[in-house]
Amino acid sequence: LNKKDILGREVTLANMCDERARMLQDRFNVSLNHVHSLAILVSTFHHGKNPSAIDQKTFGLYTERTAFERPLTSGVAYALKVPHSVREQFEKQHGWTIKKMETEDQTLVQDCIPEKLDPAPIQDEYAPVIFSQETVSHIVSIDMMSGKEDRENILRARASGKGVLTSPFKLLKSNHLGVVLTFAVYNADLAADATPQQRVEATAGYLGASYDVPSLVDQLLQQLASKQTISVHVYDTTNASAPIKMYGDEVTDTGMLHTSNLDFGDPSRKHEMHCRFKQKP
């Protein structure tokens, strides 16, 4: 292969990779905006009205009907901020106990068999899911603060007022790695320059969306019908020395590699798309 052909291949690979990265990023951004507006919907019609205009039936119907607005998501849910002082009253009112995400036998949790889940041990506060899209109904009643990734997201979301992303982890009832996007819901109109402390105090709950990355990226690439030509990998590169693969098969080195940047809107996480030709020339 001469220099000109090599250069041509490099340009082709770069263009294909950038196009795919941009498509993934744009779709993610579309769904992020819609999840944000769902958080405002819950704030307005659940916390802002007495009696509330939202119950599980309404939330389930609305989120199912608007699922097309949230590309790449596998489901959305709403968890309430429950201080320990009102736990008993909360559990009585809902007719179930707040469940813990982690147990001795992790397989029970993964399969999400509600009657096998332990009640959440005593904590200062909890984040039980009260509303869910049908696709993630298995997380209703689970304390989202009892899972490491979900907890970190909740703490960061409510202190910042921004949409925040977890690192990739194995979602409940799924065999795939995924990420969760969280927006805090506040029960007061906060000034844009509110302090983290004021934000935490005004927090009413957490609106979250889960992304089953492998199946959703697969869908996207299928539409581009180029799976024969290039192999695509997506990494969380937040920790540059230990990237986490979120999408793609075993990496086979075919010489040429192009890396496209991915911006999923949370500045504290970094992502990259890596593309290779499947065949050597």
DSSP string for 263-278:
--S-TT--EEEEEEES
Instruction: Please check whether residue 210 is in contact with residue 136, taking contact to mean a CB–CB distance below 8 angstroms.
Output: yes
Q: Which of residues 218-277 bind ligand WA2 (CB under 6 A)?
A: none
For residue 141, the 8-state DSSP code is T
Alpha carbons 215 and 14: distance in angstroms, whole number: 24
Distance of alpha carbon 156 from the chain centroid: 14
Token output for 276:
């290779």
Stretch that binds ligand WA2, among 50-58, 75-83, 90-98, 117-125 (CB under 6 A): 75-83
Work out which of 82, 109, 130, 139 binds ligand WA2, going by CB under 6 A: 139
Q: Which residue, among 209, 219, 269, has the nearest Cα to 31 in the 3D structure?
A: 209
Q: How many Cβ atoms sit within 10 Å of the Cβ of residue 54?
A: 19
> What is the number of alpha carbons within 13 Å of residue 130 lying toward its C-beta?
20
Q: Does 77 sit near ligand WA2 (CB under 6 A)? A: yes
150 three-class SS: helix
Query: Cβ of residue 130: shortest distance to ligand WA2, in angstroms?
Result: 9
Q: Which residue is nearest to ligand WA2 (CB)?
A: 208
By rule CB under 6 A, what count of residues binds ligand WA2?
A: 18
Q: Does 39 sit near ligand WA2 (CB under 6 A)? A: no
Query: Cβ of residue 209: shortest distance to ligand WA2, in angstroms?
Result: 7
Q: Does 43 sit near ligand WA2 (CB under 6 A)? A: no
Alpha carbons 147 and 200: distance in angstroms, whole number: 19
What is the dihedral angle through the alpha carbons of 15, 16, 22, 23, rounded to the nearest 10 degrees? 150
Stretch that binds ligand WA2, among 52-60, 142-150, 252-260, 269-277 (CB under 6 A): 142-150
Query: Cβ of residue 205: shortest distance to ligand WA2, in angstroms?
Result: 8
Query: Cβ of residue 150: shortest distance to ligand WA2, in angstroms?
Result: 5
CA distances from 85 to 81, 126, 168, 205, 258 (A): 12, 11, 33, 16, 54
Query: Cβ of residue 30: shortest distance to ligand WA2, in angstroms?
Result: 19
Smaller CB separation from ligand WA2, 16 or 180:
180
Distance of alpha carbon 17 from the chain centroid: 23
Work out which of 146, 182, 237, 260 binds ligand WA2, going by CB under 6 A: 182
Q: Which of residues 144-173 bind ligand WA2 (CB under 6 A)?
A: 144, 147, 150, 153-154, 171-172
Q: Does 180 sit near ligand WA2 (CB under 6 A)? A: yes
Q: Which of residues 107-136 bind ligand WA2 (CB under 6 A)?
A: 129, 136
Return residues touching ligand WA2 (CB under 6 A): 75, 77, 79, 129, 136, 139, 144, 147, 150, 153-154, 171-172, 180, 182, 206, 208, 210
